[in-house]
Amino acid sequence: MDMNITKILLEWYGDHKRDLPWRKTRDPYLIWVSEIILQQTRVEQGLEYYLNFVDKYPDIRSLARASEQEVLKMWQGLGYYSRARNMLSAAKIIFVDYGGTFPADYNNILKLKGIGQYTAGAIASIAFNQPFPAMDGNVKRVISRLFGVDTPVNSGKGAKRINEILLEMIDHHKPGDFNQAIMEFGALNCKPKNPLCDTCPLSHACQAHLSGRVDKLPVMDRKIKQKRRSFHYLVMLSKNKKELVFMIRKRTGNDIWKNMYDFPELETFESYKNNSRVKLIKTSSVYKHQLTHQLISAKFYIYYFRSLFTVHRSPEYIAIGPGQLDQYPFPRLIDKFIQQELMPEIKKMQD
């Protein structure tokens, strides 16, 4: 293994790393929060969430005491909400089983809910200076190109090969800097599209560059089929005294957006015939939302009920007014509809 590569990466990192708040700390809690937020999220978007999150929950104790609804509300718009639910469960365990002190042992870190090998490696190396690799998408791409690994990086075999290379490369004195260097190098220099090969300090050693395969690596296995789902939402408005209210529903099933709120949803929709006490106000445009393995398209039907709805007397449904919207966590697609179509409609009716 050419140890010069490690040296060059560390030097590059010293010169190019972005000034980010979690790079100025070795507090395992803060590193954990930043790593979880940055999974599946770009730094530019994640930064604001990170700052708000650690402002509200500056330590394990404050997070462990929070309610799930509150934490999900903080997470609204970031997606992959199981990350927030798992963080809350893990914080409670650290608080109870470890007296509020983050465990320093890699295997104990790995046992915490929502922490996989990547996050455990990042925390162990950055906060506790232990030589464990942290292999995310950026790292896989960089290693696959540098060493010409053509096994699919999202297969077990590919990940194993990359992990072996990382174990040989990792700097035992600065494992945290090494892991961050390679991730940052992937994000800024060896980017998925248009990597900066012309000015790259590693181009002389890069197998992909030397063999003209930069756009062919990394190889991805695309076996997972995407599920298509169509949601039909019923948005029921009514008046409670003088305030316009609408029904929202807590999603309790074992499905996407668990414990977040949306509207009563139908798989098939039948018209309310000629019921004059119910008026269809608006049928929304189609909203689309791409999840990793699902493509959601949703349509919303806004109805006005002249007498306050009594149909859905179920704990799942809550009647709220616009002033209470900020208390409930909504998936991004639902929030978009509320802001773009429901609120203007309510405003029109109230004026």
Residue 234 pairs with which residues in a beta bridge? 301
The one catalytic residue in 11, 35, 68, 270 is 35
Among 73, 85, 140, 145, binds ligand SF4 (CB under 6 A): 145
- CA-nearest of 5, 8, 33, 9 to 20 is 33
Is 208 a binding residue for ligand SF4 by CB under 6 A? The answer is yes
The helix/strand/coil state of 229 is: strand
- Which residue number, 74 or 197, has a Cβ lying nearer to ligand SF4? 197
Taking the complex as a whole, how short is the minimal distance between the CB of residue 194 and ligand SF4, in angstroms? 10
Burial of 173 per CB tally in 10 Å (0-12, 13-18, 19+): exposed
Taking the complex as a whole, how short is the minimal distance between the CB of residue 152 and ligand SF4, in angstroms? 18
Tell me the per-residue interface mask from 187 to 206 with ligand SF4, x by CB under 6 A, - otherwise.
Answer: --xx----xxx--x-xx--x
Is 214 a binding residue for ligand SF4 by CB under 6 A? The answer is yes
Task: Verify whether residue 341 is a known catalytic residue.
Answer: no
Assess contact for 130 and 105: CB atoms under 8 A.
no
Is 140 a binding residue for ligand SF4 by CB under 6 A? The answer is no
The helix/strand/coil state of 50 is: helix
Assess contact for 112 and 90: CB atoms under 8 A.
yes
Is 28 a binding residue for ligand SF4 by CB under 6 A? The answer is no
Rounded distance between C-alpha atoms, residue 146 and residue 98, angstroms: 41
DSSP string, 281-297: EEE---EEEE-SSEEEE
The residue whose two tokens read 């316009």 is 244
Is 209 a binding residue for ligand SF4 by CB under 6 A? The answer is yes
- Which residue number, 94 or 139, has a Cβ lying nearer to ligand SF4? 139
Assess contact for 158 and 137: CB atoms under 8 A.
no
Contacts 24+ apart (CB under 8 A), 134-138: 134/179, 134/183, 135/159, 135/162, 135/163, 135/166, 136/39, 136/183, 137/186, 138/182, 138/183, 138/185, 138/186, 138/187, 138/190
Taking the complex as a whole, how short is the minimal distance between the CB of residue 40 and ligand SF4, in angstroms? 22
Among 146, 236, 298, 338, binds ligand SF4 (CB under 6 A): 146
**Which residues, 150 to 189, sit near ligand SF4 by CB under 6 A?**
189
- Which residue number, 87 or 208, has a Cβ lying nearer to ligand SF4? 208
Residue 280 pairs with which residues in a beta bridge? 303
- Which residue number, 66 or 146, has a Cβ lying nearer to ligand SF4? 146
- Which residue number, 166 or 206, has a Cβ lying nearer to ligand SF4? 206
- Which residue number, 123 or 202, has a Cβ lying nearer to ligand SF4? 202
Taking the complex as a whole, how short is the minimal distance between the CB of residue 235 and ligand SF4, in angstroms? 49
Catalytic residues, by residue number, are: 35
- Contact residues for ligand SF4, defined by CB under 6 A: 145-146, 189-190, 195-197, 200, 202-203, 206, 208-209, 214
